[in-house]
Chain A
Amino acid sequence: MTTMAEPAAVLPRLYRVASRQEDTHDTVTLQLTEPAHPVPAFAPGQFAMLTAFGIGEVPISLSGLGDSGDGRAQRLQHTLRAVGAVTRALHATQPGGLIGVRGPFGTSWDVPSAAGRDLVIVAGGIGLAPLRPVVLAALADRSRYGRIVLLAGVRTPGDLLYQDELEWWQRNGVEVALTADWADRGWSGEVGLVTALIGPARLAPGNSVAFVCGPDIMMRLTAEALVALGIPADRIRVSLERNMRCGAGWCGHCQLGPLLLCRDGPVVGYDRVAALMRVREL
């Protein structure tokens, strides 16, 4: 007798766009809701496979869990940049439009495991989106953690995500330092590489846990700088990205050496991947 096991892992659920917020010229944050069901339990760091029907599917990290406002259901928040056919279609989806959602998949940032320590959050470019849930989780349980330090680098000031929120975070216990690759005189943040923000942050390496997300090279350099400062590699977590076709461990695309990033990642301890990230074309 044949059985169809777990079609849920393969079948996208139909979500509606509840709201659409343009963050920058090419980035948008969508709030997704499934009217009939509560949103599944996504942990910070996990991702969903989002389907633009008839076009394709891509992995997008959770950037937050929004409130529907009535206290009942939550919404999935995904910040995405229009870079290809699928993301352009998702990016263009207006409120009321349908998007397919599979997930959650992958490992989480595991913020609670950093209880009692300083959180050092380093974001490069759109890497701030998967890290936003770390800030929110820490703020939701503020007394549990030491300092919350956010260092974020962007291409230009116009590419900075969540600008209003950043101010709110700053007023509510997050130390925020920003830097841009290029800026004009109107920018009050630094100009230069995000790693230049590390020294002046005066971190306590013995009591810090780092969460790093951004382009591969930026993550590698940031992690190395943090290691040089004295933060042990197993207390530095990076969020890696590779091509994903299934998100569930079957398609083989997301391999980085021995790791299947949809299953063993995307969040991985730097101690596990430091050597892998240095190998060309791995």
Chain B
Amino acid sequence: MSSTVAARILAHPFLAALTGEQYAVLAEDGTPVVFAAGERLFAEGGIADRFWLIERGGVALDTRVPGRGDQIIETRMAGTVLGWSWLHPPYRWHFGAVARVPTDAIAFDAASVRRRFDADPAFGYALLRSFTPVIAEQLQATRLRLLDLYASPAQARQAEIQRADT
């Protein structure tokens, strides 16, 4: 089972920094999963006990806003990694995630992976180095979306006025 998983995760550029041995180790904690369209992967506030490499399909990150319902924050396409709240305490999801279309992924047991970090710091370092660029990129992208660059000057002025008033 894990050798198929190893083969599948090998294809992801996200883990390119891992050595062959580290791939094998990680693969032991990986399980292929399938989600139907609309199926929830996790809920906001839930325990962050897994992370996924999305192979096919797509996932939406969402959050429940009182009075506005579920808002999509961002979508994650095939070939991307989902979930990093498992890396640090309190190991709770900041947002929810829902499959938008039938989705294939490899799910990793976060607790087990964390135990491997303690046992083999080099492995932990390699995985952390894989995750930090992803997190940084998402932060940058989010900051840029905050700039609302596609807004017309009137829309931008409106936002400025509203900010000044509060």
Contacts and interface: CB of A to CB of B under 8 A. Distances in A.
Chains A and B touch each other in the complex, with CB atoms below 8 Å apart: yes
Interface of A: 26, 81-84, 124-126, 153-155, 159, 179, 181, 183-185, 187-188, 190-193, 195-197, 199-200, 214-215, 217-218, 221
Interface in B68-83: 70-75, 77-80
Interface of B: 58, 60, 70-75, 77-80, 100, 141, 144-145, 147-154
A188 B144 CA distance: 22
Contacts of A125: 149-150
B94 to A, nearest CB: 16
A84 B152 CA distance: 10
Given A217-B144, A221-B144, A191 B150 contact: no
A155 B73 contact: no
B77 A190 contact: yes
Contacts of A81: 152
Nearest to B60: A191
A225 to B, nearest CB: 10
Contact of A153 (B74, B148, B150): B150
**Chain B: interface secondary structure?**
mixed
A87 B152 CA distance: 12
Given A196-B77, A200-B79, A26 B72 contact: no
Contact of B150 (A84, A124, A197, A221): A124
Nearest to A153: B150
A82 B154 CA distance: 9
B77 A26 contact: no
Contacts of A83: 152-154
Contacts of A191: 60, 72-75
Given A196-B141, A200-B77, A185 B150 contact: no
Residue in A184, A185, A221 with the greatest tally of chain B CB atoms within 10 Å? A185
Given A196-B141, A199-B79, A155 B147 contact: no
29 contacts: A26-B152, A81-B152, A83-B154, A124-B150, A125-B149, A153-B150, A155-B151, A181-B145, A181-B150, A183-B72, A184-B71, A184-B72, A185-B70, A185-B72, A187-B72, A191-B60, A191-B73, A191-B74, A191-B75, A193-B145, A196-B77, A197-B77, A199-B80, A200-B78, A200-B79, A200-B80, A215-B149, A218-B144, A221-B144
Contacts of B80: 199-200
B149 A218 contact: yes
Listed from nearest, the 5 A-B pairs whose CB atoms lie closest are A125-B150, A155-B150, A215-B149, A193-B141, A190-B75
A159 B150 CA distance: 9
Nearest to B72: A191
A83 B71 CA distance: 29
A208 B142 CA distance: 28
Nearest to B154: A83
Contacts of B78: 200
Contact of A192 (B100, B141, B152): B141
B74 A192 contact: yes
B159 to A, nearest CB: 12
Contacts of A154: 150
A81 B154 CA distance: 11
Contacts of A184: 71-72
Contacts of B147: 217
A99 B75 CA distance: 43
Contacts of A153: 150
B79 A124 contact: no
A159 B149 CA distance: 13
